[in-house]
């Protein structure tokens, strides 16, 4: 019996902490990667990045609706996955349009990063307006297809445990897609000539020019990669939870926190930071009472919820970690750009 | 008969007052030309003008018979001029080998042969090829910087104070390598603070003062010139 | 255009715009806009001190505004004695434990060199601190929140006149700014932006969820006013006399005594609303003038000149031995304190504190727009920006709807596209704001009333 208690406790944690944190972490990691790539190459903190996420997801939802209306679905997979490539193309094109019409001017002027950051606030406004105008400010679920891979009830019955483990298909899809995206990105950056030239440009702009690297080409590639990552992150997040422009905007802070915690400008740091933030948010706001009830003998069982912080403070956690990192190790976990 | 790279009558600056006035610098293949002069004499400016990094009011720049004065810096790189800046001259977050690959960014052919030649020239770099350039010592970093420039297989190599801040031993080594590079047929232009040592290896030297050519002549000749010695070489 | 003329022209145009609203909509609407314009201007001055003079990007304006609002509640609301009797001790003890833990953490962090001992101590302090706080805090807030939850359910405040909160809000906001500044001002400029963005989210989370402190999303309403109530005015003889004498000729024209009385009554009711708004406007305007005057005084002092020197060339100033960090910290605290004042004023004007209404767009980025369009580095510009952008923000919605109506005019009344467009039209004002910001940054980066170039 003792043994079952232990397994129950583990399953409980896996169900409520490990699986959700892994999928949220993957979504956050992708989003942070896009933020950090824009930061690394274009050298400014892009306040509009979370709204690019909204925009990309909105595009995916619209395409998914279009496909569904003409009878195309992806079977057991969500239609939005089918729509993803199209959404990426639209997002990237719009991104490039904004770059041409807005950002390139300041690049040519060699404006301070902080000016570009303020410009990105203007872009943020415009994106929010567009998204709300087209699809509205409300919560939208756009998931279809097979919902569960493992359902809690089946799991319980099969193993004869008290606790069940649920794995939603979106969670598995998230982890797999995120993994593919990250591996491709790192392959691109480390092994291809274009990727290396992007790193070179990010590292030393003047020398990159002297080596014949075309900055405009690098900028275009950067926005395209950023669009791929942010749209994918947004679609995965929306499939897993739901799509609401304001919720997406609120992801800006965890994204920034993850980028700085990991080491801003460093892609590996962005991935690590994304998972650190996600796991912290979930482990610190989970109520461990039931977990200890399984593990402890009866007279030692805790009376409270055994929760470090109320779930109301999810956002606060990313900020607290951010502050701790700023105090203890301002360069982040992986040594990032100079501060 | 004009030289391989002939830059004559260069006048201009950074937009404000002119810094160089009717300045001439010429270099031939397999030749080392050294530009020396006091601080603020316009040495670096002259070199930047040759690279197209500042726009000139006047000047004729002829490379191998064709006019390059209208080309952008990138196009001049493509035309065969390579430049090693004084500072920030390596990609510190890239490995040594990636630095070389970036040097050859404009080339579409196989670059392994050139990389091999460079490893022959600087054997130390072969061992460090997977290390980040930013982690190397000053002298080694200078080697990476020169190598990156050589990856384009340039016809003209320009170096801005390649020996600034390195020890005398490293300086000697760098100059030796530069001679080797010259012997492979490259035209070399160096701006130098360490005037004596530089003029020692120079085939031809220019002394710039106030943005104008004050003296010019073969390296040894300048070294012997009493006036030059007194004014710039400390007697 | 002659630079000297820019400010008068800008303010004249602004006056005309407000007058148009007064004539076409109503003077009451116009005055409501003006009151919020003044508060916006004060916030804009706060941001302008930080950005225009100090070069600091504060993305947490919303947080300082909410802190000001919370202060207004805590100063002016009557204390809930029952809550204090039953659970005050618990809250005080957990606050003390919290403060002690933070102090202990700071002490350990600064004074213990050995990493192992330090980390162990930190973990121990956090662990026991949390246990201690949870022990007292949880039960206490449950008691507090259960006391008459429909009406109070929180600790209440000090029961002082609300106008005191304006000053206290400055102190509270300044203290929070001091903590943030200490942590982030040594780092690169973007970090301040991100950290302030974070702290403002935390402030909002606290006021939204700590019901024992602020009633959370249940809101606190019915706060005391520093100005008379409409109903009081309507019952005072002097007000009646005042209205009668102002409208003397109009009333004289009416022959019937009863209808003359009816007209007078209507006039008194509508005028009492305007009178109250005028009182607010007078109060707010005095604060605005005072803050403007003090800011100008400070900025033309040696202290202000040093600040600008640092902004324009940080390296040179640093080489001259100026303590950049301290200067930045000072200006960051002062700017945030001013924003805190404006936050308290806003809650005073509303007469209620509604934590759910704080959104970063409305309370942070719009203020930024005001500063940039008004003219970074010029307080007069910030005042203009505050007026202009707030005016646009309010009037953009009806204008957008009108615009969309025009666009959709050709469509059938029940056409779904028409319905969707009309429903979404309100969001176009975000678009207008974004566009204004981008156009200003591109074509008028110095703003409508640019910073005066200081003579050396």
pLDDT score of A338? 42
What is the band of B158 on the pLDDT scale with cuts at 50, 70, 90?
A: very high
DSSP H helices in C236-323: 237-246, 248-252, 257-299, 302-312, 314-319
CA-derived radius of gyration, chain C: 26
pLDDT at residue C3 above 80?
no
**C residues 150-179 closer than 8 Å to A (CB):** none
Q: B92, A203: Cβ pair inside 8 Å?
A: yes
Rounded CA separation C391/C359 (Å): 18
Residue C451 placed within a domain: no
Q: What is the pLDDT of residues C168-206, one digit of tens each?
A: 999 999 999 999 898 888 877 778 888 888 888 888 988
Q: B105, A193: Cβ pair inside 8 Å?
A: yes
Query: Are C245 and C194 members of one domain?
Result: yes
Spatial CB neighbours of A322, under 8 Å, sequence gap ≥ 6: A256, A257, A260, A261, C194, C195, C198
pLDDT at residue C59 above 70?
yes
In terms of Cα–Cα distance, which of A317, A334, A203, A202 is closest to A261? A334
pLDDT score of A1? 47
pLDDT score of C320? 76
A312 interface with C at CB cutoff 8 Å: yes
pLDDT score of C456? 40
Do chains A and C touch, with touching meaning 3 or more CB–CB pairs less than 8 Å apart?
yes
- State mean pLDDT over C113-142: 84
CATH number of the domain to which C291 belongs = 1.10.3470
Q: What is the pLDDT of residues B77-133, one digit of tens each?
A: 888 999 999 889 999 999 999 999 999 998 888 889 999 999 998 888 889 989 999
Q: What is the pLDDT of residues A325-337, one digit of tens each?
A: 887 787 888 876 5
Concatenate the DSSP letters of all residues of A165-177 into one string.
--EEHHHHHHHHH
Residue B93 placed within a domain: no
Q: What is the pLDDT of residues C116-127, one digit of tens each?
A: 888 888 888 888
Output the furthest CA–CA distance in chain B (Å, rounded): 51
Q: What is the pLDDT of residues A191-235, one digit of tens each?
A: 999 999 999 999 998 899 888 898 999 999 999 999 999 999 999
Burial zone of A109 (CB within 10 Å; 0-12 exposed, 13-18 middle, 19+ buried):
exposed
pLDDT score of A2? 53
Domain containing C151 equals 80-155
Residue C354 placed within a domain: yes
What is the band of B38 on the pLDDT scale with cuts at 50, 70, 90?
A: confident
Rounded CA separation B95/B83 (Å): 20
Residue B174 placed within a domain: no
Residue A110 or residue B235, greater confidence: A110
Q: Following CA atoms B112, B114, B116, B117 in sequence, which dihedral angle do they give, to the nearest 10 degrees? A: 170
Chain B interface, best mutation among A40, A197, A202, A207, by max B CB count within 10 A: A207
Query: Are C254 and C184 members of one domain?
Result: yes
pLDDT at residue A34 above 70?
yes
C126, C155, C184 - which closes a domain: C155
Rounded CA separation C238/A110 (Å): 65
For residue B94, what is the nearest residue in chain A, using CA coordinates?
A200
Residue B75 or residue A2, greater confidence: B75
Q: Are B104 and B151 in contact (CB under 8 A)?
A: yes
- State mean pLDDT over C283-304: 93
Contact list in A for residue C360 (CB cut-off 8 A) is 249
Query: Are C126 and C38 members of one domain?
Result: no
In terms of Cα–Cα distance, which of B222, B226, B191 is closest to B204? B222
Q: C205, A313: Cβ pair inside 8 Å?
A: yes
Residue C450 placed within a domain: no
Q: B91, A199: Cβ pair inside 8 Å?
A: yes
Give the helix/strand (H/E) hosting C74: helix C61-76
Residue B61 placed within a domain: yes
Residue C349 or residue B54, greater confidence: C349
Query: Are C119 and C249 members of one domain?
Result: no
Spatial CB neighbours of B105, under 8 Å, sequence gap ≥ 6: A193, A197, A211, A212, A213
Residue C224 placed within a domain: yes
Rounded CA separation B219/B199 (Å): 5
pLDDT score of C139? 82
- State mean pLDDT over A78-95: 96
Residue C65 placed within a domain: yes
pLDDT averaged over every residue in chain A: 90
Domain containing B5 equals 1-80+159-167+188-235
User: What is the distance in angstroms between the CA of the first residue and the CA of the last residue of chain B?
Assistant: 36
Number of neighbouring beta carbons within 10 Å of residue A146: 12
pLDDT at residue A3 above 70?
no
Instruction: Show the tokens assigned to C14.
Output: 């602004």
What is the band of C279 on the pLDDT scale with cuts at 50, 70, 90?
A: very high
pLDDT score of A49? 96
pLDDT score of C1? 55
pLDDT score of A240? 92
Q: A257, C194: Cβ pair inside 8 Å?
A: yes
For residue A211, what is the nearest residue in chain B, using CA coordinates?
B103
Please say whether the dihedral angle defined by the alpha carbons of residues C156, C159, C161 and C164, taken in this order, is positive or negative: negative
| Number of domains within chain C | 2
For residue B82, what is the nearest residue in chain A, using CA coordinates?
A210
For residue A214, what is the nearest residue in chain B, using CA coordinates?
B74
CATH number of the domain to which B15 belongs = 3.40.50.300
pLDDT averaged over every residue in chain B: 88
Instruction: Show the tokens assigned to B41.
Output: 């004499």
Contact list in C for residue A315 (CB cut-off 8 A) is 198, 201-202, 205
Query: Are C286 and C326 members of one domain?
Result: yes
A126 interface with C at CB cutoff 8 Å: yes
| Number of domains within chain B | 1
Q: Are C397 and C430 in contact (CB under 8 A)?
A: no
C99, C131, C155 - which closes a domain: C155
The pairing of strands A167-168 and B5-12 is unpaired
pLDDT score of C305? 86
Q: Are C386 and C34 in contact (CB under 8 A)?
A: no
Report the 3 state secondary structure along A85-153. HHHHHHHHHHHHHHHHHHHHHHHHCCCCHHHHHHHHHHHHHHHHHHHHHHHCCCCECCCCCCCEEECHH
Which residue shows structure tokens 């703003």?
A: C447
Concatenate the DSSP letters of all residues of B22-88 into one string.
EEEEEE-TTEEEEEE-STTSSHHHHHHHHHTSS-EEEEEEEETTEE-TT--HHHHHHHTEEEE-SSS
pLDDT score of A287? 83
Spatial CB neighbours of A312, under 8 Å, sequence gap ≥ 6: C205, C208, C209
Rounded CA separation A332/A30 (Å): 18
pLDDT at residue C54 above 60?
yes
Q: What is the pLDDT of residues C359-399, one digit of tens each?
A: 888 899 999 999 999 999 899 999 999 999 999 999 888 88
Query: Are C30 and C146 members of one domain?
Result: no
Chain A interface, best mutation among B93, B132, B141, B142, by max A CB count within 10 A: B93
pLDDT at residue C455 above 90?
no
Residue B70 placed within a domain: yes
Q: A212, B91: Cβ pair inside 8 Å?
A: no
* C-alpha dist (Å) from residue C397 to C400, C417, C425: 5, 19, 7
CA-derived radius of gyration, chain A: 22
C118, C135, C155 - which closes a domain: C155
Q: Is residue B5 helix, strand or coil?
A: strand
Q: A304, C431: Cβ pair inside 8 Å?
A: no
Query: Are C163 and C234 members of one domain?
Result: yes
pLDDT score of C350? 92
Report the 3 state secondary structure along A60-79. HHHHHHHHHHCCCCECCECH
Residue A31 or residue A157, greater confidence: A31
């Amino acid at each position: 019996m003792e043994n079952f208690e232990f397994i129950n406790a583990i399953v409980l944690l896996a169900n409520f902490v490990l699986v959700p944190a892994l999928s949220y972490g993957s979504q956050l990691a992708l989003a942070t990667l896009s933020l950090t790539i824009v930061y690394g190459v274009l050298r400014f903190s892009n306040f509009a990045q979370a709204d690019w996420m909204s925009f990309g997801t909105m595009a995916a939802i619209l395409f998914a609706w279009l496909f569904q209306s003409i009878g195309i679905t992806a079977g057991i997979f969500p239609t939005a996955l089918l729509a993803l490539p199209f959404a990426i193309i639209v997002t990237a094109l719009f991104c490039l349009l904004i770059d041409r019409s807005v950002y390139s001017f300041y690049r040519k002027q060699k404006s301070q990063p902080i000016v570009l950051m303020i410009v990105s606030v203007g872009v943020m406004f415009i994106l929010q307006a567009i998204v709300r105008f087209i699809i509205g400010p409300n919560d939208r679920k756009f998931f279809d297809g097979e919902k569960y891979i493992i359902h809690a009830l089946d799991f319980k019955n099969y193993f004869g445990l008290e606790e069940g483990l649920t794995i939603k298909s979106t969670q598995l899809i998230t982890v797999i897609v995120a993994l593919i995206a990250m591996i491709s990105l790192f392959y691109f950056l480390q092994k291809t000539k274009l990727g290396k030239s992007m790193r070179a440009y990010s590292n030393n702009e003047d020398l990159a020019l002297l080596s014949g690297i075309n900055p405009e080409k690098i900028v275009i590639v950067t926005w395209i990669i950023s669009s791929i990552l942010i749209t994918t992150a947004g679609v995965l997040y929306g499939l897993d939870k739901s799509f609401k422009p304001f919720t997406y905007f609120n992801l800006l802070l965890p994204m920034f926190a993850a980028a700085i915690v990991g080491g801003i400008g460093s892609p590996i740091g962005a991935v690590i930071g994304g998972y650190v933030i996600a796991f912290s948010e979930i482990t610190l706001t989970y109520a461990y009472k039931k977990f200890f009830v399984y593990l402890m003998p009866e007279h030692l069982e805790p009376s409270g919820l055994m929760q470090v912080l109320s779930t109301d403070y999810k956002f606060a956690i990313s900020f607290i970690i951010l502050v701790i990192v700023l105090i203890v190790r301002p360069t982040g976990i992986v040594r990032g750009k100079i501060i | 008969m004009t030289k391989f790279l002939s830059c004559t009558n260069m006048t201009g600056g950074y937009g404000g007052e002119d810094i160089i006035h009717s300045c001439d610098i010429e270099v031939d293949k397999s030749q080392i030309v050294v530009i020396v002069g006091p601080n603020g004499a316009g040495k670096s400016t002259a070199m930047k003008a040759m690279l197209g990094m500042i726009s000139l009011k006047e000047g004729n720049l002829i490379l191998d018979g064709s006019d390059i004065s209208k080309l952008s810096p990138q196009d001049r790189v493509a035309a065969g001029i390579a430049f090693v800046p004084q500072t920030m001259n390596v990609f510190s977050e890239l490995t040594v080998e990636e630095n070389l690959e970036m040097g050859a960014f404009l080339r579409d052919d196989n670059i392994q042969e050139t990389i091999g030649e460079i490893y022959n020239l600087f054997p130390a770099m072969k061992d460090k090829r997977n290390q980040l350039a930013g982690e190397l010592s000053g002298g080694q970093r200078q080697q990476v910087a020169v190598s990156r420039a050589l990856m384009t297989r340039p016809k003209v190599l320009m170096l801005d104070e390649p020996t600034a801040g390195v020890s005398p031993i490293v300086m000697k080594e760098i100059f030796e390598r530069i001679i080797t590079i010259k012997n492979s047929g490259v035209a070399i232009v160096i701006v130098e603070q360490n005037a004596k040592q530089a003029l020692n290896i120079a085939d031809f030297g220019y002394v710039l003062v106030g943005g104008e050519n004050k003296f010019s002549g073969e390296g040894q000749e300048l070294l012997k010139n009493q006036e030059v010695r007194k004014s710039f070489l400390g007697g | 255009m002659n630079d000297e003329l820019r400010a008068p022209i800008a303010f004249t145009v602004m006056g005309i715009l407000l007058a148009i609203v007064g004539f076409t909509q109503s003077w009451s609407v116009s005055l409501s806009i003006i009151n919020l314009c003044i508060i916006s201007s004060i916030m804009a001055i706060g941001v302008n001190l930080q950005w225009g003079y100090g070069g600091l990007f504060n993305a947490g304006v919303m947080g300082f505004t909410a802190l000001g609002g919370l202060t207004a509640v805590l100063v002016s609301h009557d204390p809930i004695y029952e809550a204090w009797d039953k659970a005050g001790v618990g809250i005080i003890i957990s606050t003390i434990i919290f403060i002690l833990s933070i102090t202990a953490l700071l002490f350990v962090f600064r004074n213990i060199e050995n990493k192992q001992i330090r980390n162990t101590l930190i973990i121990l302090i956090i662990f026991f601190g949390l246990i201690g706080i949870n022990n007292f805090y949880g039960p206490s807030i449950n008691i507090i929140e259960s006391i008459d939850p429909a009406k109070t359910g929180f600790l209440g405040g000090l029961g002082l006149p609300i106008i005191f909160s304006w000053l206290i809000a400055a102190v509270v906001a300044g203290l929070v700014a001091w903590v943030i500044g200490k942590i982030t001002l040594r780092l690169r400029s973007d970090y301040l932006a991100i950290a302030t963005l974070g702290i403002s989210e935390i402030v909002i989370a606290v006021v939204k969820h700590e019901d024992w402190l602020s009633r959370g999303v249940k809101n606190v309403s019915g706060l005391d006013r520093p100005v008379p109530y409409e109903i009081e005015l309507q019952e005072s003889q002097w007000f009646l006399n005042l209205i009668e004498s102002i409208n003397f000729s109009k009333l004289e024209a009416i022959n019937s005594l009863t209808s003359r009385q009816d007209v007078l009554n209507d006039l008194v009711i509508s005028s009492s609303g305007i009178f109250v708004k005028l009182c607010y406007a007078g109060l707010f305007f005095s604060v605005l003038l005072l803050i403007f005057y003090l800011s100008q005084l400070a900025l033309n002092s040696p202290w202000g000149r040093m600040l600008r020197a640092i902004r324009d060339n940080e390296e040179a100033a640093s080489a001259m031995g100026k303590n950049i960090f301290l200067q930045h910290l000072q200006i960051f605290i002062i700017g945030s304190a001013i924003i805190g004042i404006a936050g308290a004023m806003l809650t005073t004007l509303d007469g209620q504190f509604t934590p759910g209404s704080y959104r970063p767009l409305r309370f942070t980025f719009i203020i930024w727009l005001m500063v940039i369009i008004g003219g970074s580095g010029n307080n007069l510009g910030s005042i203009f920006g505050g007026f202009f952008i707030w005016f646009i923000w309010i009037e953009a919605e009806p204008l957008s709807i009108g615009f969309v109506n025009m666009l959709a005019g050709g469509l059938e009344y029940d056409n779904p596209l028409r319905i969707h467009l009309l429903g979404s039209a309100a969001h176009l004002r975000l678009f207008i704001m974004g566009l204004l910001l981008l156009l200003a940054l591109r074509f008028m980066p110095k703003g409508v009333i640019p910073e005066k170039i200081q003579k050396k």
